[in-house]
Structure 1
Amino acid sequence: MPELFQEMYYGPNVQNLVESDDCKVMRLSDNSGEGMMTLYHVFPGVFLMYNDFHMKECISGFQTDMDLLCIDHCREGRIEQEVGQNAFSYLEAGDLRVDRRIHHSGKVEFPLSHYHGISIGFQMEIAAKEIPASMKGFSVDLYELQKKYCSDRTPYVIPGEPAIEHIFSELYNVPVKIKKDYFKIKVLELLLYLDALELSGHTEERPYFYKGQIEKIKAIQALLTQDLTKNYTLEELSARFDIALTPMKNCFKSVYGSPIFTYMRNYRMNYAASLLKSDKSLKVAEIAGLVGYDSPSKFASAFHQTMGKTPLEYRKSII
Structure 2
Amino acid sequence: MNSKYYLTEVDKNPQSIFCYHNLRGETFVEPHSHDKGQFLYTEGGVVHVKTDTRMYYLPARHYMWIPPGVRHAIYPSSPKVIMKNLYFPMIVNASGFYKKEGIYPINNLLIEMLLYTKNWNGDITKSQRNKYAIVYAFKALLEQTVSKSLHLELPHPTDGRLIQIIKYLTDNIHKEHLLPKLASNFSMTDKSLYRLFKKDLGMSFIKYYTQLRIFKSLEYLMNSDYNISEIASMVGYSSLPTFSNTFAKVLGKRPSEYRKTNEIYLEA
TM bucket normalised to smaller: 0.5 to 0.7
Q: How is 1:294-309 mapped onto 2 (pairs within 5 angstroms)?
A: none
Match of 1:266 among 208, 224, 229: 224
Alpha-carbon displacement from aligned partner over 1:272-317 (angstroms, at most 9, x marks no partner): xxxxxxxxxxxxxxxxxxxxxxxxxxxxxxxxx9xxxxxxxxxxxx
Compute the TM-score of the two structures, normalised by the length of structure 1: 0.46
Aligned residues: 199
The percentage of aligned residue pairs carrying the same residue is 9
Match of 2:20 among 46, 49, 56: 49
Change (3 A) 1:55 1:268: farther
Change (3 A) 1:186 1:250: same
Structure 1 match to 2:113 = 167
Correspondence 1:93 to 2:54: no
Structure 2 match to 1:301 = none
Q: How is 1:1-319 mapped onto 2 (pairs within 5 angstroms)?
A: 25-27=1-3, 44-59=15-30, 62-64=32-34, 67-84=35-52, 86-105=53-72, 107-112=73-78, 115-124=81-90, 142-144=91-93, 146-151=94-99, 154-172=100-118, 174=119, 183-194=131-142, 197=144, 202-212=147-157, 232-235=174-177, 247-255=208-216, 257=218, 263=221, 266=224
Kept in 2: contact 1:70–1:99 (CA 8 A): yes
Identify which of structures 1 and 2 has the higher relative contact order when contacts are C-alpha pairs closer than 8 Å and 6+ apart: 2
Alpha-carbon displacement from aligned partner over 1:125-161 (angstroms, at most 9, x marks no partner): xxxxxxxxxxxxxxxxx555x324134xx31332232
What CA distance in whole angstroms lies between the structure 1 residues aligned with 2:87 and 2:26?
Answer: 23
The gaps in structure 1 that reach 5 residues or longer are: 1-24, 29-34, 125-141, 225-231, 270-304, 306-319
Q: Could you say what secondary structure the match of 1:189 adopts?
A: helix
Compute the TM-score of the two structures, normalised by the length of structure 2: 0.53
Amino acid at match of 1:122: F
Q: How far apart are 1:49 and its partner, in Å?
A: 0.9
Q: Could you say what secondary structure the match of 1:150 adopts?
A: helix
What CA distance in whole angstroms lies between the structure 2 residues aligned with 1:95 and 1:76?
Answer: 11
Change (3 A) 1:164 1:198: closer
Q: Which has the larger radius of gyration?
A: 1
Q: How far apart are 1:166 and its partner, in Å?
A: 2.2
Q: How far apart are 1:187 and its partner, in Å?
A: 0.3
Change (3 A) 1:111 1:162: same
- Greater share of strand: 1
Structural RMSD (CA): 4.6
What CA distance in whole angstroms lies between the structure 1 residues aligned with 2:88 and 2:120?
Answer: 24
Q: How far apart are 1:47 and its partner, in Å?
A: 0.9
Q: How far apart are 1:72 and its partner, in Å?
A: 2.0
The gaps in structure 2 that reach 5 residues or longer are: 187-192, 194-204, 228-255, 257-268
What CA distance in whole angstroms lies between the structure 2 residues aligned with 1:254 and 1:53?
Answer: 22
What CA distance in whole angstroms lies between the structure 2 residues aligned with 1:263 and 1:255?
Answer: 9
Change (3 A) 1:42 1:159: farther
Q: How far apart are 1:119 and its partner, in Å?
A: 1.5
